[in-house]
Amino acid sequence: MTILTEPGPVTTPRSSRLLWAILALVLLADALDVIDATVTNIAAPTIARELNGGESLIKWLGTAYMLAMGVLLVVGGRLGDKYGQRRLFLIGISGFTLASAVAGFSPDPTLLIVARVAQGAFGALLIPQGMSIMMKAFGPDLLAKAFGLFGPVLGLASVGGPVLAGFVIGADLFGLSWRPIFLINVILGGVGLVVAARILPRDDDGDRSVVVDGWGSGLLAVTMIGLLYGLIGGSTNGWTAVPVASMAAGVLFFAAFAYRQRTATHPLITPSLLRNRGFTSGMLVGLIGFAAGTGLIFVLSLFMQEGLHAGPRDASLGLVPLTLGIIVSAFAAMGGLVAKLGRRLVVIGLVVVLAGCGWVLALVDRSGTNLGLWALAPALFVIGIGIGLCFGTIPTVALGNASPDEAGSASGSLSSIQQLSSAIGSAGVTTIFFQAAASGFGHAMKVSLIVVLAVTALSLPVVALMPREAPAGPPGGAAE
């Protein structure tokens, strides 16, 4: 995942070998993020069983990572501008590597969740720096070629995360079960740290005039923690005073965050963007779409393992058709469809997701938990096609009538929304699944699918408020 920022000044020409080494380093950082965002989709049931974490741990494993990433992503970009991208990249990859080691050796659920939060937080410092470093180091021609490699590499990473988890757990390397899925980051992150220290251009002066809205970030963090802690705690342990108070506090802090965004001199979101109907509607569609899609993928994995009794390896392979559908359609979308169709492509993608979910619902309704994994494959491929058509298209189209000076804030805000909505969806849909599982896992999957269908359908009318076209060039070039 990357954040687009305004291009910085191109530095003096560097050797081609050094530039491609910088690109490989940035791709490694982004691939680590994608893998760690998806790896617990498969590993969660095994981790919860071995650490006696129960439903609560399953819900928090992915949510904690995405929550920290979403809250701090924009802040990470601003800190890089202020203190230098190289410095923040080194801090980010060091912290991410250390947090991965802690996650891999965690003896209990609490320390593991803390480590996942730390992974997301340091990832939020790491990821935004790569794009800025490339924009400063690469000339326009090389930059275009470099950007063309992000899709294939991150597509492979999105497939690799769940598949890696399935095969690592199945292999039980050195008797460590699930732990190598985090410990492999120690090796990759360590190599990345050494390489980064040697090859990244020095820019330690930064721009100390950049202002970071720490209060806004803090209020957003407390808002999300309150809401998610209340949701997960209430659904798992009962709706006592603590989860109810936590959710109420989340609502109050969100009101404070909204007030801060209106009154702060340098808010996290540029005020003019909040008055831009095309952008705000795109943000709302993204919030709904990413939440529903992420939650759906997570509960499909749970259904395969808990309901269909597939092992982690078989479940990871069972999700491959969905991931391949995402990759194929995402390439088609970014390869020209989004420029031709604009917001119509978002509608097409959402409708295809609805069709795929309806197909899975019919299969589960007919066969329940007697369903074979490969009987699901065609329907999951269709869902993947739909997700790929709209997930990458929503942020692109939402930037259709943003002005160039709003581009950095708009792109960063949409990236944060993607992470935060994924955290909400992972927690929310998983909660619905487990609540309905008292009547059987087949029933739980049907209820989850119906909720995803309803939420996705509700987002369709909002698409009509998005810009008609994606930006033809720099953001702001498309008319509504």
| 215-258 pLDDT per residue, tens | 888 898 899 899 888 888 888 778 888 889 999 999 999 999 88
Same domain, 378 and 471: yes
Q: Do 400 and 478 form a contact (C-beta atoms < 8 A)?
A: yes
| 96-129 pLDDT per residue, tens | 999 999 999 999 999 999 999 999 999 999 988 8
Mean pLDDT of the chain: 85
Residue 150 tokens read as 């992000």
Same domain, 94 and 134: yes
For residues 158 and 188, the model is more confident at: 188
Same domain, 157 and 235: no
Calculate mean pLDDT across residues 65-86: 86
Which stretch of 150-159, 261-270, 441-450, 463-472 has the lowest confidence by average pLDDT? Answer: 150-159
How many Cα atoms within 13 Å fall on the side-chain side of residue 119? Answer: 31
Calculate mean pLDDT across residues 137-145: 69
Residue 39 tokens read as 């790896």
For residues 61 and 208, the model is more confident at: 61
| pTM, 2 dp | 0.84
For residues 24 and 15, the model is more confident at: 24
The per-residue pLDDT for 286 is 87
Calculate mean pLDDT across residues 168-186: 92
Cite the DSSP H helix spans in 303-392. Answer: 312-318, 320-332, 338-341, 343-367, 373-391
The per-residue pLDDT for 342 is 85
Same domain, 4 and 88: yes
Which stretch of 28-37, 57-66, 127-136, 355-364 has the lowest confidence by average pLDDT? Answer: 127-136
Domain presence at residue 270: no
Q: What is the CATH number of the domain that holds 380?
A: 1.20.1250.20
Calculate mean pLDDT across residues 382-394: 88
Q: Is 267 helix (H, G, I), strand (E, B) or coil?
A: coil
Number of domains comprising the chain: 3
Buried b (16+ CB within 10 A) or exposed e, 425-446: bbbbbbbbbbebbeeebbbbbb
Single out the residue in 222, 241, 265 at which a domain terminates: 265
DSSP characters over 91-102: HHHHHHHHHHHH
Q: Do 8 and 133 form a contact (C-beta atoms < 8 A)?
A: no
Same domain, 221 and 154: no
Same domain, 254 and 324: no
327 vs 73: CA distance, rounded Å: 24
248 lies in which domain range?
213-265
Same domain, 256 and 128: no
Pick the closest to residue 16 from 168, 123, 146, 111 (CA basis).
Answer: 146
Q: Is 372 helix (H, G, I), strand (E, B) or coil?
A: coil
Q: How far is CA 6 from CA 148, 274, 344, in A?
A: 18, 20, 27
296 vs 361: CA distance, rounded Å: 12
Calculate mean pLDDT across residues 460-472: 83
